[in-house]
């Protein structure tokens, strides 16, 4: 199962462009297009929100943690960056893990939920970014590590994809949805193939 998280919502508009474009609206459209693309691949897909509603980061992470073998994809729109490009992020792996997870204790603290999935998340991010580089020209060649709060508390391979930028009109950003969705879906497909067995 793939859990798609259209960031923000409700009173939390996310980034806002001078022309009135709001991140929360754009990412919901992107999420719906991505859902269709992933469903075409035969994957089960869940959105953390279906409408303009605000959900806490913990609630969204809980949705991502519910499926036993899922993938979590958080969608964002940036305030900076080359228009029409996108960058993928994964949560940085902690240096020198010495805590309970390293000692083999299975009870995972909420704040360290992502830790066991750091390598998988990075691999997923790399495969998605390769596709973004091809479908959205000018996108970076490699993903970036960033301490995105939302990813830290997800116990699954988890990435955030940020489209640039909110300065564009909503319609312009929505026109990028098919290319963005195709790139992410192809990256997910490659990841599943690489990890043998998949999450279907």
**Binding stretches for another protein (CB under 8 A):** 7-8, 12, 14-16, 23, 57, 76-82, 87, 89, 92, 94-95, 99, 111-112, 140, 142, 144-150, 152, 160, 162, 166
Q: Which two tokens stand for residue 75?
A: 């969608």
What letter would DSSP give residue 111?
G
User: Shortest Cβ distance from residue 77 to another protein (Å)?
Assistant: 8
User: Shortest Cβ distance from residue 165 to another protein (Å)?
Assistant: 8
Backbone angles phi, psi at 145, to 5 degrees: -85, 130
Q: Is residue 181 helix, strand or coil? A: helix
Nearer to another protein, 165 or 199 (CB): 165
Nearer to another protein, 140 or 178 (CB): 140
Q: Is residue 9 helix, strand or coil? A: strand
| Angle, vertex CA 32, rays to CA 28 and CA 35, nearest 5 | 135
Nearer to another protein, 37 or 162 (CB): 162
Nearer to another protein, 67 or 145 (CB): 145
CA distance 67 to 51: 21
Nearer to another protein, 67 or 140 (CB): 140
CA distance 38 to 29: 14
CA distance 27 to 16: 12
92 by Cβ neighbours in 10 Å (0-12 / 13-18 / 19+) ranks as middle
Contact 149, 92 (CB under 8 A): no
Q: Which has the closest alpha carbon to 180: 167, 199, 200, 162?
A: 162
Nearer to another protein, 64 or 199 (CB): 64
């Amino acid at each position: 199962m793939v859990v798609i998280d259209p960031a923000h919502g409700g009173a939390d508009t996310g980034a806002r462009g001078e022309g009135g474009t709001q991140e929360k609206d754009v990412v919901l459209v992107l999420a719906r297009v991505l859902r269709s693309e992933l469903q075409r691949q035969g994957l089960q897909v869940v959105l953390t929100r279906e409408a303009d509603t605000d959900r806490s980061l913990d609630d969204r992470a809980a949705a991502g943690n519910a499926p036993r073998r899922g993938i979590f994809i958080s969608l964002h729109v940036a305030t900076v960056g080359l228009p029409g490009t996108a960058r993928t992020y994964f949560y940085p792996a902690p240096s020198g893990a010495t805590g309970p997870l390293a000692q083999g204790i299975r009870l995972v603290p909420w704040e360290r939920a992502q830790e066991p999935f750091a390598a998988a998340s990075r691999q997923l991010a790399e495969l998605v970014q390769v596709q973004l580089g091809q479908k959205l020209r000018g996108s970076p060649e490699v993903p970036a590590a960033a301490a995105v709060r939302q990813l830290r508390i997800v116990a699954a391979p988890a990435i955030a994809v940020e489209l640039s930028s909110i300065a564009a009109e909503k319609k312009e950003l929505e026109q990028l949805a098919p290319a963005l969705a195709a790139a992410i879906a192809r990256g997910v497909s490659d990841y599943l193939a690489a990890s043998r067995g998949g999450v279907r």
